[in-house]
Each structure stands twice: as structure tokens, then as C-alpha cells.
Structure 1
Amino acid sequence: MDVLIVGAGSMGTWFGDAIDARTAFADVDGDAAAAAAERVGGEVAALEGEGTYDVVCLAVPMTHVTGAIAEQADRAERAVVDVSGVMEPALEAMACHAPELERVSLHPLFAPERAPGSIAVARDRSGPATDDLLAALAARGNELLETTAADHDGAMETVQASTHAAVLSFALAAESVPDGFETPIYKRLRRLARQVTDGTPRVYADIQATFDGADAVADAAADIAAADPEELEALYREAAANWHGDPVAGTDGDGDDPDEFGGDGA
């Protein structure tokens, strides 16, 4: 099987290395395509070439995936797949531009350097070519998480957009504190803030442009900031009910409750 990977960034390179196929890379950055091809033992292809491949994989930013599918789908003979991270628009574009071909959207739920991991899989029209690709990914130790495009994109509003907005908001609002004043919760948030801000800004911007979720975080923060003590207790119990199923009745032993060990823990 030969696979054209459009997009020679970290995710496209990971995909080319993770599958058992002959690969070619096409990218607006020719040097990036050459580097990816060298790394995985593939070839470089023209971005507007006329050659066809068994499979075309779109590994482009999620804000550009529908346009890339429209431009590249006719180069596929058997299947079109993507690893952009947004599924409903991608699969709709595939159905429009490759109605007779196999169509699968993949979302690796990890950074390439942390592979293997869980990969969300939405099969719109599966078949032998995409089955072989998925089998190769599973053989590399990845866990395939079968889903629908709607369920995936709905989950990403919380898993990515809301989560990133909350962590970035803390990273922007936090001020330096003297050594020794760290609490368990602060240490965890500090670690998350460092992890998130060590990434690629464009990726986080694309996520916020694609998925709702940040507004809900902003609204919740505004409610907390404006709350009086009784209102804050009610918000705390509402949050606890979201995560524990019912209002908090005690502590969980993790040292974060100020009444538990005599500290200010939070």
C-alpha cells in the first residue's frame, strides 16, 4: 500500500512512521517534507502533483482540513483519512469529494513524542485499506477508541477547548510566589501550565477557533469572582456534584482540604 501524507509536521511524520506502508510527504514547506521523508524512509511528493496513491492522509491543521481534502481527495484511489483533530467537518468534506472511497477520521489523543496512546477513530466508510492502516496502528501499541464524529467533537469542547482555556487562564493570572508557599493544588496547576505553554501556540489557537468551551470557563470564573461566601459554597457543591455525583460530605484524603491536615491546602 502506498500512502500520500499531506502535511509533514510532527503528526504527519508520526503517522508515516506508525503505519506499514510506502509513504510520500507533500507540504507547502519543501524542507519539512524532505525531513519527514528522510526520517521515516519515505519520498517527497509535489503538493499539486498528478500521481495517485492508495490512500491520502490529511495531516494539516484542523482549520485547513476541509480545504485540503477538497484539493487532495482526487489523488486517492482507495481511501481518504485525516489526523487533524476535528471529525465532523473532515468527514463531511470526504463524503463530498470522495463519495466512493473509504473514509476514516483519526485523532491521536497524545503528542507524537508521547506515542503510543489512545486514538479516536470515526469510520464513515471503512474497508480493507483503512482496516490495514488501523491494524498497523494497533500493532504499534496504540489503543483504538471507536467513536462517532459528533461524539468526538462534542467531547473536545471539554477535553480540549475548556481544559486549555482554564489552564492558560491560570498561567496568565498567576503571579510568582516565594519558595515554600506552594500547595498541592498549586503545584499541579503549575505543572500543567508549564506543560501547556511548552507547546505550539498555533495548535491551541486552532482548537479555540474550532471548538466551543472557553466561554463556559470564562462564565464560571466570573460567577466565582462575583460570588459572596454563601454563593461560593453553592458553586463549590455544584462543582462537586458534577464530579462526584452528589454534594461533598467530607474529604478524600489527598491533602487539599484545608480542614484535613491543618494547612491551607487550596
Structure 2
Amino acid sequence: MDVLVVGAGDVGRWFGDAVDATVTFADIDEEAATEAAEAIGGRAVPLEGDERFDAVCLAVPMRYVATAIAEHAPRAQEAVLDVSGVMGPALEAMAEHAPARERVSLHPLFAPERAPGSIAVVEDSPGPVSAALLEALEERGNDLVETTAAEHDEAMESVQAAAHAAVLSFALAADPAPEGFETPIYDGLSDLVETVTGGTPRVYADIQETFDGVEAVANAAERLADADADGFESLYREAATRWEGSRHDSSGGDDA
């Protein structure tokens, strides 16, 4: 099987290395495409071209995914996939521009350097080519989580947008503590700040632009700021009840 990966960033390289296929990279940065190809033993082609492949995977920033699908879906003979991180717009674009192809949206819920991990999957139009690619990802130790575009994109409002906004708000509001004054909660938040601020700012900005979430964090902070002691206790209990029984899995990494 031959696969074209459009986008030679970290996620595109991860996908190309994780699947059992002959992989070709294309990127607006031709040098990046060449480096990605050399790293996994593939090849690079110009971003504009008419060569066709069994499958095309769009590994571009989420703000560009619909446009990229429109441009590159015709290069797919059998399947179109994306790993952009937003599913609704991606799958809508696939249905419009690749109606007769297999169509699958993937979202690795981890930073590529922390692979393997959980991958959200929507098989909008499954078939043998996409099934083989998914099987290869599973064989690499990834856990495929079946979902819907609506469920995924709604979850990302909390999992990514609100979570990132809360961590960055703490980073902007708090001062580094003098040595020896740290508490377990402060240390935990400091570790999260280091993880988030060690990423790519544009990626986090894209998430905030794509998914609602920051407004909810701002509203919650305002409620806390306006509450008297009794009101604060009430909000504390509300938060505890809201999260009672939730399962926390610390195996993931930078999910941006």
C-alpha cells in the first residue's frame, strides 16, 4: 500500500512511521518533507502534483484541514484520512470531495513523542485500505477509541480548550513560589504549565479558535472571584459533585 501524508510535522511523521505502508510526504516546506521522508525511509514529492496513492492522510493544522482535503482528496484512489484533531469539518469536507472513497478521521490523544496511546477514531465510510491502516496503528500498541464527530468535538471543548485555558490562566495569574514553599497541588500545576508552554503556541491558539472552552473557564473564575465565603463553599461542593466518580488516567501526555 502506498500512502501520501500531506503535512510533514510531528503528527504527520508519527503517522507515516506508525503505518505499514510505503509512505510519501508532501509539505509546503519541501525541506521538511524531505527530512520526514529520510527519517522513515520514504520519499518526498511536491505539494502540488497529480500522482495518485492508495490513501491520502491530511496531517495539517486544523484551521487548514477542510481546504487541504478539497485540494488533495482527488489524489486518493481508495481512502482519505486526517489526523488534524477536529472531526466535524474534516469529515464534512471528505464527504463533499471524496464521496466514493473510504473516509476516516483520527485524533491521536497524545504528543507524538509519547506514543503509543489512545486514538479517537470515526470511520465515516470504512473499507479495506483504512482498516489495514487502523490495524497497523493498533499493532503499534495504540488503543483505538471509536466515537462520533459530534461526541469528539464536544469532548475537546473540555479535554483540550478548557484544560489548556485553565493551565495557561494559572501560569499568567500565579508567581513562581520561593523554593521550599511548594505544595503538591502547586507542583502538579507547575508541571502542567511546563508541559503546555513547552508546545507550539499556534497549535494551542488553533484549539481555542476551533473549540469553545475558554469562556467557561473565565465564567467559572468570575463566579469564584465574586463569591463570599458561603458562596465559595457552595462552588467547592458543586465542583466536587461534578467530578465525583470520574476516572483520571495519567498515562497521556501533551495532547495539544
TM-score exceeds 0.5: yes
Equivalent residue letter for 1:58: L
- Per-residue deviation, residues 39-94 of structure 1 (Å, max 9, x unmatched): 01111111110110000000000010000000000000000000000001000000
Q: Determine whether 1:103 maps to 2:103.
A: yes
Name the residue aligned to 2:127. Answer: 127
Q: Find out whether 1:183 has 2:183 as its counterpart.
A: yes
Distance 1:174 1:35 in 2: 40
List aligned pairs for 1:54-133, cutoff 5 A: 54-133=54-133
Question: What's the CA shift for 1:178?
Answer: 1.4
Partner of 1:216 in structure 2?
A: 216
Aligned to 1:4: 4
Give the corresponding residue for 2:151.
Answer: 151
Per the TM alignment, residue 142 of structure 1 is displaced from its structure 2 partner at its CA by 0.5
Deviation at 1:33, TM superposition (A): 0.2
Tell me the CA shift for residue 200 of structure 1.
0.6
Amino acid at match of 2:236: Y
Cα deviation for residue 186 of structure 1 reads 0.6
Measured in 2, the distance between the counterparts of 1:148 and 1:91 equals 10
List gaps (5 residues or longer) in structure 2.
Answer: 246-256
**For residues 207-257 of structure 1, what are the alpha-carbon distances to aligned partners after superposition, in whole Å with 9 as ceiling and x for unaligned?**
001000100000000110111101101111111110116xxxxxxxxxxxx
- Separation in structure 2 between the aligned mates of residue 128 and residue 198 of structure 1, nearest angstrom: 38
Give the residue type in structure 2 aligned to 1:194: E
Whole-angstrom distance in 2 between the partners of 1:77 and 1:179? 59
2: CA distance between counterparts of 1:115 and 1:208? Answer: 24
Q: Within 2, Cα distance between the matches of 1:41 and 1:146?
A: 31
Give the structure 2 partner of residue 31 of structure 1.
31
Give, in angstroms, the shift of residue 143 of structure 1: 0.5
Say if 2:212 is the partner of 1:231. Answer: no
Question: For residues 111-153 of structure 1, what are the alpha-carbon distances to aligned partners after superposition, in whole Å with 9 as ceiling and x for unaligned?
Answer: 0000010100001000000000000000001010011111000
Q: Distance in 2 between matches of 1:176 and 1:118?
A: 33
Query: SS in structure 2 opposite 1:120?
Result: strand
1:13 positional shift = 0.4
1:44 is matched with 44
Structure 2: which amino acid aligns with 1:109?
A: L
Distance 2:192 2:212 in 1: 21
Task: Structure 1 unaligned segments of length 5 or more: list them.
Answer: 246-266
Distance in 2 (CA, whole Å) between partners of 1:187 and 1:176 is 10
Instruction: Give the superposition deviation at 1:177.
Output: 1.9
**Alpha carbon RMSD of aligned pairs, Å?**
0.7
Identity %: 66
Find the counterpart in structure 1 of residue 53 from structure 2.
53
Q: Which runs of 4+ in 1 moved over 4 A?
A: none
What amino acid maps onto 1:136 in structure 2?
A
TM-score (norm. length: structure 1): 0.91
TM, length-normalised to structure 2? 0.95
How much has 1:176 moved relative to structure 2?
2.3
Cα displacement (A) at 1:160: 0.1
Distance 1:17 1:146 in 2: 22
